[in-house]
Structures are given as structure tokens and as C-alpha cells.
Chain A
Amino acid sequence: MVSKRISSAFQRGLILAAALGLCRQSGLAGQDEDLDLIPDFISAAQPAATPSPAAGGNSYKFFIEDEAQTNSRRHGVLLPLPDKYVPAWSNRFTFYGKADIRLTPSLSLNIVDRFNHLSDMHSDFPSGVAQNDLNEAYLSWNAYREYYLDAGRINLKSGVAVGFNPTDFFKKNAISLRTSEDPIVLRENRLGTVMARAQGILPFGTLTLAAAPEISDRPGRFITDRTSFALALQRTNAYPRYLAKISSSYKAISSDLLYYRENCTSYLGANVSRSIGDSFVFYGEWSGGRRHSLTTDALIYDAKLYGVDGAKYAYVVPGDSKRRFRNQAAAGFSYTESARKRSTFVEYHYNEAGMTNKDWGNWFLAGYAERLLDFPELASVYDQVNTVLWSIRDYAQRNTEPITRQQLFIRNQWQEAFTKKLDLANLLQLNAADRSFFLQSSAKYSLTDNLFLNLSVYFYAGPEHSEYGSINKWSAIKPGMTYLF
């Protein structure tokens, strides 16, 4: 009886022990299942040669890119762009080189250059136009701790917004070649300004001072863009310019305060940004100073640079020609879905110097006048008026500022869309007054780590009397290829 009881206790003990053991095993099994997710060869795999940081601090980047463009014409617009600006097809080949060479431990030479070969339906293939853009060439001296002195042609950029940067004062007239309508791409393709820059980076903030001399505002062989390899300094150094900028961060709010002076006129600017939660970044940017309206500025610029009598054509687009304090602003946020690798930027752009509804009305009225007064003997006058009208829009594009007062900007980028090798980006610019819009969709597919296929499609849509509906093309397709060395 006693032995039977001991035996049953022994059995219970074994069951208990087995149960405890099983419990532990089941806990282990869960963890081992995680390990099963790792293929055996990965555990043993060694990545290819680990790249070491740049030897001697030198770094280089080179790529070649070819991009074709076909335009689909919109017919019957009031003021068509001359044919030469809307060719049925065109092609751009670019060689890009960037070098950062450490000359001594504290002195480095920075060079960024783009060589472009441009051809279109009006040129006999393979001939075309060669255009070399020396975007940057400057010496940088690390004088002491984190204090730097730079001198030469420098691309000095400011601003936190994506679509429009009111505080990016040196962007004015600096886009050398409009390879895209995407502001992020345009930023990669602009001319620096010849300047001296001093920068002190401190633990609590940064002070930047820059001074750019007036070199030339008149056409000349080497310093303007009259030859393929000229420096186009008339674009960037037409006036003496000065900038002082203080950047700091406090409790995750990052801010910049800017003072800018150009040709005896002062401007103020400010940037602020903060992330809220894990997914949002909110930001705002503002600048203000005394200036003419964009229309008047464009006429003055053309008068000075190209010898066009701006005053003579001021009647074409009459409006607010007074020089007064005007604001520019961009405010928005970015939102990210990391699981889907998508980011969206939404921005509101305000340009107090931009064209009002009345200005647009006058702009189109000039077009009507041309149509109504169809006298052959006045053809040359109409051509000039047409040139002046489009030069206003061209001026806004070259200065990378909205031509109209209010604009909505949305940019969505999707990394690894559908496949690891595909990146997509969509961009929408909406004129808040006339509801016309520009839409750009771009895809980049990586065939290898170095070779990419690109495709962009543009749409210009809106009523006849609207910013985008008045452009005499309604779409463009841009296939291309990029090879990184």
C-alpha cells in the first residue's frame, strides 16, 4: 500500500518534472522559431570588403546622364511660347563631377562642374550646344576648431521648406539649366556665387557671414554666359550682396535668423522647424524686404541685361510698380509612413511680389490685343510684347519663386515602391487663384548599384486663362538613364 502510494507520488513527480521541462521547452521553441527565420548561409556570410572611410579625406563623385524629352503641344493658346522653346523633342547629355580634395590637413579645394550637351529638333544631330556650368570652385580653410573661411564660387543655401525657400537669397537667377520642375532636383543644378564666407560653428549654434562682390552685370566673353565655357557671373554677381545668419536649436526647435543685403536693400528672414511625434515635421520660412513686384523686377532686369526698354513695355502689364515692403513665406509639414516607405510634403507658398488676379488679367489682355489687332506691319511689335510677357514668367522661374501670389505644393516620395529597385516621386503645384496645376510623376529604377533608368511625365492643366493652362504644351515625357562612377 505504502509502496503503491510512493509509486504514484513518483509518477506524479515525473509528470510534474516533465510538465515543467515542457513549459521551458515551449518557451524556447518560440525563441528558436525566430532563429529559424535566418537562412543558415546568412549567419556564416561575410559582407564583401568593408569600405573604409575616404583615404586622406578626399572624396569624389561622378556621373553621366542622358535624358530625352518629348512635348505634346497644346494648340490655340493666347500667347504661345515661340516654337524654339517647345521643341517636339530634345536631348540632354550631362557629365557631372564633384571633387573635395584635401590639400593640407586644414585646407581643401571643392569643385563641382556640370558639362551639358544640348540638342533638339532644330539642331542637326549629333550637333548641338555645349554648356559647361562651373557650379562651385572654392578653397576652404579650417582656421581653428570649427571656424572656417571659404573663398571662391560657393553654393550657399538656406531654408527648411522643400518647394519654395524665401530665405534662400542666393538662389536668385542661379538655376543654370532647368533639367526638371522638381525643386529638389533643381537645387542640384545651380550656380554658386563668388563670395568670401566665414563660419563659426559653436556647441549652441552657428554664425555664418558672407560677402559677394559685384563682378559684372554686363555681357562679356568669359565672365558671362556668352560662350559654352564661360562662368556666367552676371547671373550671380551682378550686385554686391551680404548675408549674416544665426542658426540654433533649443528644445528640438531648430531656427535660423537671417539678414541679407543686396544692392543697398535689406531683407530679413527666419526659418523654424520642429518634429511632432514620430511621423510629422512642421516647418515655416519667411523673408521680407522692400522690393518691386515681380513683374516690375522682371522688366527692370530685362532692361538692364538685354537692353529691352522695360519702361516702354510697362504698359503691357500695368499694376503695382511701387517699391515697398513685401513678404514671402512657405509653411508646411511632412508626414511619413515608415512601414510603406512613403513621405509626403504639403506646403503653402505665399509671394506678395507675385502676380495678382488683376496682373494675370492684364497679361492675358495683352494676348487678346495681339489677336484682335492682327496687323502684319505690327508683327515685330507683337513679337516683342510676347517676349516681354514670357520673360516675366521666365524671370520667376529663374529666381525659383512662385509667379503667382498663392500656391499649394505637394510632394510625395515612395522608396522601394512595389520592388526594392523602384523609387517614385509625385509633385503637384496648384495655383490657388485659377485652380490650374502642374503635375510631375517620376520613377527611378536601379538596374544595378550604378545604373539607373529614369522616367518623368509632366502635365500642365487648367483653363485657357490660367497659369498652367496657358502654356502651349500639355504634357512632356522624359525618359533617361544615369550611370554613377
Chain B
Amino acid sequence: MKYFILTLVFTFLAPAAHSAEPAKTADEIISEADAVRNPDTPFSIVVSLVEYRGGKKENAMALNVYSKENAATGQYRTLALFLNPPKDKGKVMLKNGTELWFYDPVSKSSVRISPQQRLMGQASNGDVMTVNMHKDYKAELAGEETITDSAKTKALCYKLNLTSRGDSNYYRVEYWVDKADSRPLKGKFYSDSDRLLKIVYFGGYKTELGRARPTEAIVIDGIDPKLVTKMLFTNYTERKIPEEWFQKEYLQRFKGD
């Protein structure tokens, strides 16, 4: 009888103890998680990626990414300068809402690209750092789950179901945010045909630009799960980024320094 009561207490009262805390809305949770990933000032980071297939290294690349939030839309605009590999060095990609341009310094010409064209390259993986989930997606709290993060540590998380508000790269996202400190730990990104496109694990939290932020992410390709990309985020730097930099004519002037 004693065990029965104890079982009931642990099974049913434990959630009740959680429910005694002030309940957060889905919007609050996603906003706090966004603030963990995205510094509140314009900034730059160096994103280094290594792509593995079946555990074997296939590609490596590095980008210097400059980001600034658009005050009107809340979306991040990014300029990504390719640092590596040698064949791509010096190329620049601009993302300003749905306006995407790709500049090649050898041909000295800019080509307008579609969101899908951007997704073809690894630059789109750089965007997982600067997507404003709160603005781009409608959030719904699906409950709480204990998941294992990329460091193999268990963490009690809010699970959020996010649905695109229109202009985002993914139609819906399942998103896990650490309940203790609002750190995003995992995301599953789907297409409009509900095809799983990416699974992302955020980790390596270190203090950068004033608070703990992820310094690595592991991206599993949803279509080809043998394709795994490890990303490192370094050189977090606060920047003054003028509005002019998001004009396509600026791409040829962008030096990334």
C-alpha cells in the first residue's frame, strides 16, 4: 500500500509540482530560446562545417556570417562570405527576406537565387543560427519531454510545434527548449510535404557576447541520414552593420572584416 501511494505520488504529483510554477506561453518560450541563439545587437560569427557521410569526412567549408535583425520584420538579414574551400573562397551570399543574391568575385556578377537554391548549399545551415523562430513561426506548446542532447546528457525540455508564418525555409519545426535555461537543444525541420529535411542538435554552450550561446551544432540530413554535418560557431563579434550592406550592389564591396 505504501509503495502504491508513493507510486501515485511520483507519477501524478510530480507534474503537479511543475504546474505550480508560473506557466510560460509557447511564444515566451520561443522568444527566450531565440535570445539564447541570437545576440540582440548586429554581430558576426565564423561558421566552420565538416560534412560526413557514413562517418567519412566528405566536405569542409567555412563562412564568415554577418547578421542583423530587420527592425520592421524581425527577420535576420545575413551576408555570408565564403572563407573555404579554395574554389568558393571570396563568394558572397546575401539573404534579405526573400531576396537572395549570390556574388562570384571571379565573374564579378551577382545572380539572384531562389530559397531552394540557397538550401542546396551549406550556407543555409549557417542560417540555423540566425533564424528568428518567434517571428517566422507560429508556436504551440506540445508538452514536456526529457531528451538526450548531443553531449548525451538528459534534459527536461519544452516541446514546441512551430508552423511557418509564410516566408520561412521550412514549413514546420519540432523544437525542444531546455526548461531550466531556455537553451534550444534540438530541432526537426520539415518541408511543406511534411518531409523531414533536417535534424539539428545545438550544443557546446559557452559564454559569448554576454551570455551562454551554442558554439556547435550537429545537423543530420533528413533525406539522407548518413549525411551528418558538424558546425562550429566561433569569433562571435559585435558589429556595426550599416543598412547599406544589404543592397546587392554592396556584395562586390564586402570584405568581411
Contact = CB atoms under 8 A, between A and B. Distances in A.
A149 interface: no
Nearest to B100: A275
B234 interface: yes
B106 A35 contact: no
A273 B112 contact: yes
Contacts of A188: 106-107
A280 B201 CA distance: 30
A203 B244 CA distance: 4
A232 B88 CA distance: 30
Given A17-B11, A50-B234, A59-B90, A341 B120 contact: yes
B7 interface: yes
A103 interface: no
B249 A199 contact: yes
B3 A336 contact: no
Nearest to A335: B114
A146 B255 CA distance: 13
A61 B46 contact: no
A472 to B, nearest CB: 31
B247 to A, nearest CB: 5
Contacts of A249: 96, 99, 247-248
A50 B50 contact: no
A201 interface: yes
A202 interface: yes
A252 B113 CA distance: 12
Interface stretch (A40-48, A85-93, A319-327): A40-48
Contacts of B112: 160, 254, 273, 275, 281, 283
Contact of B250 (A28, A146, A449): A146
A37 B113 CA distance: 32
B240 to A, nearest CB: 11
B3 A10 contact: yes
Interface in A258-314: 273, 275, 277-281, 283
Nearest to A28: B146
B255 A51 contact: no
A232 to B, nearest CB: 18
B86 A484 contact: yes
A206 B106 contact: no
Contact of B199 (A37, A46, A59): A37
B148 A47 contact: no
Contacts of B3: 10, 14
- Chain B interface size band reads 35 or more
Given A42-B55, A247-B247, A450-B86, A337 B218 contact: no
Interface in B28-61: 46, 48-50, 52-53, 55, 58-60
A54 interface: yes
Contacts of B52: 39, 42
B242 A146 contact: yes
- Chain A interface size band reads 35 or more
B141 interface: no
Which of A24, A54, A155 neighbours the largest number of chain B CB atoms within 10 Å of its CB?
A54
Contacts of A17: 7-8, 10-11
Given A42-B52, A247-B249, A275-B100, A50 B116 contact: no
A10 B4 contact: yes
A50 B62 contact: yes
Contacts of B98: 252, 275
Contacts of A202: 244, 247
Tell me the dominant secondary structure on chain A's binding face: mixed
Given A59-B255, A252-B99, A13 B50 contact: no
Contacts of B83: 51-53
Given A57-B255, A155-B108, A452-B87, A42 B120 contact: no
A6 B5 CA distance: 11
A37 B11 contact: no
A208 interface: yes
Interface stretch (B17-25, B132-140, B225-233): B225-233
Interface in B172-204: 176, 186, 188, 199, 201
B105 A145 contact: no
A157 interface: yes
B203 to A, nearest CB: 8
A48 B48 CA distance: 9
A281 B115 CA distance: 9
Nearest to B203: A43
B79 to A, nearest CB: 12
A6 B48 contact: no
A102 B256 CA distance: 13
B196 to A, nearest CB: 10
B74 interface: no
Contacts of B199: 34, 37
B64 A53 contact: yes
Contacts of B59: 420
Contacts of B235: 50, 52-53
B145 A187 contact: no
B148 A16 contact: no
B247 A42 contact: no
Given A42-B230, A59-B90, A334-B117, A51 B242 contact: no
B81 to A, nearest CB: 7
Contacts of B151: 43
Interface in B236-257: 242-245, 247-250, 253, 255-257
A148 interface: yes
A336 B242 contact: no
A24 B154 CA distance: 13
A442 interface: no
16 contacts: A28-B147, A31-B145, A43-B150, A45-B50, A47-B232, A48-B60, A61-B105, A145-B244, A184-B107, A202-B244, A208-B249, A280-B114, A334-B117, A343-B117, A484-B86, A484-B87
Across the A-B interface, give the 4 residue pairs with the lowest CB-CB distance, nearest first: A203-B243, A206-B249, A336-B116, A187-B107
Given A35-B150, A275-B112, 9 more contacts: A13-B8, A24-B146, A42-B218, A42-B228, A50-B48, A54-B255, A61-B105, A157-B107, A281-B117
